[in-house]
Amino acid sequence: MKRLSVLFILLAMFCLTGCLSTGMQIKGDSELSAVAEIAARRIGFFVAQNEKANIETITKYVDLLLTQDDDQLQAMALYGLRYLSTKYTGDPLLADDLLTVMRLLGVDLSLDEIDLDGGDLKTLRVFAEAFRKGLKV
In order along the chain (137 residues), what is the average pLDDT of each group of 10 residues?
40 41 47 78 92 92 92 89 84 85 80 78 87 92
Query: What is the 3 state secondary structure string of the chain?
Result: CHHHHHHHHHHHHHHHHHHHHCCCCCCCCHHHHHHHHHHHHHHHHHHHHHCHHHHHHHHHHHHHHHCCCHHHHHHHHHHHHHHHHHHCCCCHHHHHHHHHHHHHHCCCCCCCCCCCCHHHHHHHHHHHHHHHHHHCC
Q: What is the pTM of this model?
A: 0.70
Buried b (16+ CB within 10 A) or exposed e, 5-36: eeeeeeeeeeeeeeeeeeeebeeeeeebbebb
Determine the pLDDT at residue 127: 87
Q: What is the pLDDT of residue 29?
A: 62
Q: What pLDDT shows up at residue 64?
A: 93
Q: What is the pLDDT of residue 42?
A: 92
